[in-house]
Amino acid sequence: MEEKLRIAEAVLFVAARPLEPTELGRFLGTRSKKKIDALMETLRQHYASRGSYIEIAKISQGDSVKYALELKPEAINYVRRISAKPVLSKGVRKTLFLIALKGPISTGELARMRGSRVYKDIKELRKYQLISVTREGRKRIVDITPLFAELLKLPNDRKAIRKAMKELARKSAPKPQNEPNNNPEDEPKNPA
């Protein structure tokens, strides 16, 4: 059992994405979903009992369940400076954001919004299986894949994804510089 726990931990670490029990089972030498679920629960309890900043996340999407090795949100501030640079460049992330927000969308419409560089972005996003490209007549239509929602821990539901993208845009929008200060606590104190 200890060896299977170590194997499961190593597989989840290297995968760096949520895995279905069947994927884990290939490495663990079992097809039994019950055995894999029990093993993941044991591993989850192991991390929890140590008070670790690492956890085994159980991600449910409808009838399917996936497992991932993740960093707890409260640990983000400790590792932010040392964590690796994002895999995707800022421009590619912007293109992905637009596809998630507006998709399905034609490559032509995307190019009008982001410029001709979007075609290189699409190629890179396909490489990571974050988007799919289909044909509608002469148009190429791009859209996000279920993996995109899975990585962001969002339901694989267009409405929920759009809502999350709009919220993200609202949070990351720059605040106007010349906005009047309406908070009296931020006003300088008069030392009279």
84 domain-assigned: no
The residue out of 42, 72, 102 marking a domain boundary is 72
- For residues 68 and 100, membership in a common domain is answered with no
The residue out of 22, 39, 72 marking a domain boundary is 72
77 domain-assigned: no
Which residue is listed with tokens 């507006």?
102
- For residues 106 and 141, membership in a common domain is answered with yes
Closest by Cα among 20, 24, 23 to 5: 24
- For residues 38 and 67, membership in a common domain is answered with yes
- For residues 95 and 168, membership in a common domain is answered with yes
**Total tally of structural domains belonging to the chain:** 2
184 domain-assigned: no
Percent of the chain with pLDDT over 90: 41
188 domain-assigned: no
CA angle 162, 166, 170 (to 5 degrees): 170
186 domain-assigned: no
- For residues 67 and 30, membership in a common domain is answered with yes
Which CATH number characterizes residue 148's domain?
1.10.10.10
- For residues 66 and 122, membership in a common domain is answered with no
- For residues 94 and 54, membership in a common domain is answered with no
The structure's pTM equals 0.55
182 domain-assigned: no
* Residue range of the domain that includes 59: 2-72
pLDDT in tens, 132-183: 999 999 999 999 988 888 777 777 788 888 888 888 777 776 666 655 555 4
80 domain-assigned: no
Closest by Cα among 112, 58, 55, 94 to 172: 94
- For residues 55 and 122, membership in a common domain is answered with no
Q: Could you give the dihedral angle defined by the CA atoms of residues 44, 50, 54 and 58, in that order, rounded to the nearest 10 degrees?
A: 20
pLDDT in tens, 9-51: 999 999 878 889 999 999 999 999 999 999 999 999 999 999 9
Residues 6+ apart with CB under 8 A from 108: 139
- For residues 59 and 94, membership in a common domain is answered with no
pLDDT in tens, 60-117: 766 788 898 888 878 877 777 776 666 778 888 899 999 998 989 999 999 999 999 9
